[in-house]
Amino acid sequence: MGGALYRQSAQRRWAALALLAGLTVLPLLLQAVGHEFYVSFVSRLLIFALAATSLNFVVGFGGMIAFGHAAFFGAGAYTVAILMENGISSALVAWPLAIAVAALLALGIGLVSLRTRGVYFIMITLAFAQMIYYLFISLKAWGGDDGLSLASRSTLGSLPLSNDAVFYWVVLACLAATLLLLDRITHARFGRVLQAIRENESRMEALGYPVHSYKLLCFVIGGALAGLAGALIANHGQLASPSLLQWTQSGTLLVMVIVGGVGALYGGVVGAATLLLLEEVLSHFTHHWHAALGLALLFVVFRAPHGIAPWFHRRFSRSKKNEAPRE
Amino acid sequence: MTQLILEQALNGLQFGLMLFLLAAGLTLVFGIMDMINLAHGSLYMVGAYLAAAAVAASGSFVVGVLLAVAGTAVLGALLEMTVLRRLYTRDHLSQVLATFALILIANEAVRMVWGDQPALLNPPDALSGPVELGGFSYPAFRLLIIAVGTVVALLLYWVVACTRVGMWVRAGASNREMTEALGINVKRLFTLVFAAGAGLCALAGAMLGPLLAVQVGMGESILILAFVVIVIGGIGSIRGALVGSLLVGVVDTLGRALLPWLLRSFLPGEVAANLGPALAAILIYLLMAAVLFWRPAGLFPARG
Amino acid sequence: MSEPLLNIVGVSRHFGGVHALSDVTLDVVAGEVHALIGPNGAGKTTLIHQISGAQMPDAGRIEFSGADITRLSMHARVAAGVARSWQITNIFGRLSALDNVALAVQGRQRDWGSSFRFWAPVDAEQPIIDEAAAWLAEVGLAGRESTLAGSLAHGEQRQLELALALATKPQLLLLDEPMAGMGPEESERVVELIEHLGRRVSILLVEHDMDAVFRLADRISVLVSGRLVFTGIPDEVRAHPEVRRAYLGDVDA
């Protein structure tokens, strides 16, 4: 298939495993050098990587430019917080419910939005996300402008999630599982169909595929995974904040995807890491780091127009450009 | 009751007309260049700040506003010639990324120049009081906004509908290649449209500044409203932008004023108090979703 | 003749004030090659759109295998056994030729089951790949499997287009000018292919090449300005005065 970016050579698989191993021992290394603070920072980074990856599945693989992904991210976070308010703190209950709520929301929004296309799709997804945002900040029962704070982190069997390192490992496991799942999906029948739909929608319809259902399901899977990311971010800061639902959050996730590489499996991860690390570093140097970040993004637009992950891919793989990968 | 409705309807009209000033430029840029410009709201913010500074420096509201409009128009033209022009041929994702970056830069630039505190922009003294309007009093400054908005809207409508430049703009919105084939300097036309759009943004910023706060981030919230307007109206259509603006302005204002009251008449007090503001806040988004559901290309589609 | 496979009854379609199709009644029986001819703008492609489900008629009824499919979506019609090709090549340019056809093969749910599968790698589904390769060979594209569809020659893309339609294993094949833009050699190959297919699949063929039409068609219908002027066997059509005046005259001239 044409999606060379999604193809994993043995070499890349080893690289991924090495990276996973490195990330697994990272908290121990940070503890050894006395920088435990960064464990929490990297957790946050991985959660955003998960959220951006879920959006990349919709944008890069489903070909739908969704500008309202924050709705699912935030819905996941609020589900966990609201359940916690009502005395349900088990992760095994709350997190799947967060995923389910986000998926249902995506189903509803997708059903209506997929009637439109192009710019109108971008705008209607934005409108729905705004609805969710205003709904949450005007409902005093759910914390209004202040958001809902969590009394503690979720409970997960006997795992002490309040320990930052343990929480980090759980987050890492969620991200790794998501990446594995998406890698499998994109190489399975469903993924092949999606890829072809992105290429030529009307032809797929004429081959007998119910195109609308495939796109909707892709949208729902993306929303569900964002819900998981939301459940994790609520646990991370022990707060479901309305800012998670804001349109700028949708924008930020989209920026992460574009920076990392639209349609690249690791695009969301690379984008989130780039953006958050840049933010962290720049804010050390200047009070006005937003402007510096803006300039960096402009640089990406005009110098690395396909994002950073594909740029790496081109540098470090010997894939032939004009031949389809499968012989 | 009628008075309240009348007053809120006037407020809605006033807000709608200001939205039109923002939406007009946005819809033309969107329609002609097929370009998503998230930084449109930043021009509105910069315009408001420039107006606050110019009014403070000159001591005259009129002079200040005119200076702000001119200054923002020049800034808009410069922005078009340096950055945005290179984005017309790019895909929507790149446009989102680049103009999102411009928002970050603009917000930070404003902070560097004017600081974190909101800027002060007062209406002219002569208009700070209310006027009697057949039985109820209405702020004079809001009447001025309605007057200015109406005049500019009519002027704009006339330019687009009746003049040669307007014909080019309309032609460009519906068929860019053909416009170029007619030998029109599309490049200069785009810059002109963009500068005009920026000027209108500044006018809206300056007029709304005394009512809403002049602060960093003011552009983002109103930008979304402007997008809602042009999507409802149909991208690229000035008529659509006008109808959409008034619709959004009136529905939003009346909804906020009347919905909680309406709900209270048939729902228990507590539920109504909770639900009213929430429903009012999402009313225009419901409106937009409904319009797109039945008319997926807006009320007045500009392209076939 | 046997029971009609496709039955079009009184189908009309207009765009604004233009009547693209007016009260068209036509049938295709099983196993027949039915050619649809007519001058440019007569509504031939529009009729194909109504049958394939790309557009819905304003009036009239379309029956396939005895079932009313007038309001069915395009993908449902494909599943029922109606496939089409396009006048302008419509393929997946950035996928390999083999992957193009594999998609069409995989789409046959009755043979391969649902494509809502999320785990097993598709590259390992050898039967699908083998069948796709067989279709490529059938239309004369053996050896071009791994070439990107977008970099095939124009004639080859037309052949691929045909393979895509065939791989859905239709009972009825709607071919919209399958030889458009082909050289004589490629055209000959397609004519032979259709001759060969004619025994297994019913075909509604829109074509401007009159030699091919008279060679292939069992029956010919003539469409002029959205109206069906005449339907008959090739010799009747050749002899029909109104048809000669309305259409064949233009071609001979």
Residue from A61, A185, A200, A207 whose CB has the most chain C CBs within 10 Å, to mutate: A207
Indicate the residue of C104, C119, C123 with minimum beta-carbon distance to A326.
C123
Q: Which of C84, C94, C122 sits opposite A199 (nearest CB)?
A: C94
* Three-state secondary-structure class, residue B26: helix
**Cβ of A207 and C78 within 8 Å?**
yes
Chain C contact set for A181 (CB, 8 A)? 118
Per-residue pLDDT tens digits of chain A, which is 327 residues long: 333 434 456 777 888 899 999 999 999 999 899 888 899 999 999 999 999 999 999 999 999 999 999 999 999 999 999 999 999 999 999 999 999 999 999 999 999 899 888 888 998 899 899 999 988 888 888 888 899 999 999 999 888 999 999 999 999 999 999 999 999 999 999 999 999 999 999 999 999 999 999 999 999 999 999 999 999 999 999 999 999 999 989 999 999 999 999 999 999 999 999 999 999 999 888 888 889 889 989 988 888 877 776 766 666 554 434 333 333
Sequence ranges of the domains in chain A:
38-244
Neighboring chain A residues of C90 at a CB cutoff of 8 Å:
200, 202-203, 206
Shortest CA distance to C245 belongs to which of C237, B215, C32? C237
Residue B158, min C-alpha distance to chain A (Å): 28
Give Dmax over CA atoms of chain A in angstroms.
61
CA distance B186 to B203: 25
Whether residue A190 and residue C108 make contact (CB cut-off 8 A), yes or no, is: no
Q: What is the pLDDT of residue C2?
A: 62
Under an 8 A CB cutoff, do A134 and B281 touch? Answer: yes
In C81-100, the residues whose Cβ lies within 8 Å of chain A are: 83-84, 90-96, 98-99
pLDDT digits (tens, 9 = 90+) for B71-102: 999 999 999 999 998 998 888 889 989 999 99
- Tell me which residue of B276, B238, B191 sits closest to B21, measured CA to CA: B238
Tell me the ipTM for this assembly: 0.89
**Partner-chain contact B282 A112, CB within 8 Å:** no
Q: Where are the alpha helices (DSSP H) in chain C?
A: 44-52, 74-80, 97-106, 109-112, 126-138, 154-167, 184-197, 210-216, 234-239, 241-243, 249-252
A86 touches C: beta carbon within 8 Å: no
B35 → chain A, closest CA residue: A119
- C-beta of residue B255 within 8 angstroms of C-beta of residue B267: no
Token representation of residue C97: 């030729």
Cβ atoms of B97 and A259 within 8 Å: the answer is yes
Query: What is the pLDDT at residue B125?
Result: 82
**Does any domain span residue B199?**
yes
| CB within 8 Å: A207 and C104 | yes
Q: Do A185 and C118 touch (CB under 8 A)?
A: yes
Do the domain assignments include residue B149?
A: yes
C-beta of residue A243 within 8 angstroms of C-beta of residue A137: no
Chains touching chain C through at least 3 C-beta pairs below 8 angstroms are A
Using a threshold of 3 CB pairs under 8 A, tell whether chains C and B touch.
no
Does position B5 have pLDDT exceeding 90, yes or no? no
Provide the number of structural domains found in chain B: 1
Average the pLDDT over each of B125-129, B182-186, B211-215, B279-283 and give the range with the smallest value: B182-186
Interface chains of chain A (3 or more CB pairs under 8 Å)? B, C
Which chain A residues in 18-77 lie under 8 Å from chain C, judged by CB atoms? none
Which stretches of chain B are DSSP H helices? 2-33, 40-58, 61-82, 92-114, 140-162, 164-174, 176-181, 186-208, 218-233, 238-264, 269-294
Q: How far is CA A108 from CA A60, A69, B294, in A?
A: 21, 13, 16
Residue C83 C-alpha, separation from nearest chain A C-alpha, in angstroms: 7
- Which of C118, C161, C176 should one mutate to test binding to chain A, selecting the residue with the greatest count of A CBs within 10 A? C118
B66 belongs to a structural domain: yes
pLDDT at B166: 83
Residues B146, B139: Cα–Cα separation, whole Å: 11
Query: Which residue bears the tokens 């000959």?
Result: C188
Is C135 in contact with C109 (CB distance < 8 Å)?
Answer: no
* β-strand partners of C33: C203
- Mean pLDDT is lowest, of A186-200, A305-319, B38-52, C165-179, for A305-319
What are the tens digits of pLDDT across the range A26-62? 999 998 998 888 999 999 999 999 999 999 999 999 9
Query: A11 and chain B: CB distance < 8 Å anywhere?
Result: no
Residues in chain C, overall count = 253
Dist CA A284 CA A277 (whole Å) = 11
**Can you give the pTM of this predicted structure?**
0.90
Q: Please indicate whether residue B187 or residue B9 has the higher confidence score (pLDDT).
A: B9
Q: What residues of chain A, 39 to 98, have a C-beta less than 8 Å from chain B?
A: 59, 65, 67
In angstroms, rounded to a whole number, what is the distance separating the alpha carbons of residues A32 and B24?
59
Which residues in chain C touch residue A214, judged by CB atoms under 8 angstroms apart?
Answer: 115
Helix axes A37-56, A267-285, angle to 10 degrees: 140
Q: How large is the average pLDDT for residues B279-298?
A: 87
Query: Is C146 close to A184, i.e. CB distance below 8 A?
Result: no
- Evaluate whether residue B137 is within a structural domain: yes
> Is residue A304 packed enough to be buried (19+ CB in 10 Å), middle (13-18) or exposed (0-12)?
middle
Contact between B45 and B56 under an 8 Å Cβ cutoff? The reply is no
- CA nearest to A111 within chain B: B293
Q: Is A189 on the interface with C (CB under 8 A)?
A: yes
Distance from the C73 Cα atom to the nearest Cα atom in chain A, whole angstroms: 9
Domain span at B135:
2-215
Phi, psi of A182 (to 5 degrees): -65, -35
Which of B168, B153, B195 lies closest to B47 in space, CA to CA? B195
Q: Which domains, and CATH codes, for chain C?
A: 1-81+170-253 (3.40.50.300), 92-169 (no CATH)
Supply angle C-alpha A47, A51, A57, rounded to 5: 140
Residue with tokens 């407020």: B11
Q: How many Å lie between the alpha carbon of A33 and the closest alpha carbon of chain B? A: 35
Find the CB nearest A305 among B94, B227, B293. B94
CA distance A173 to chain B (A): 30
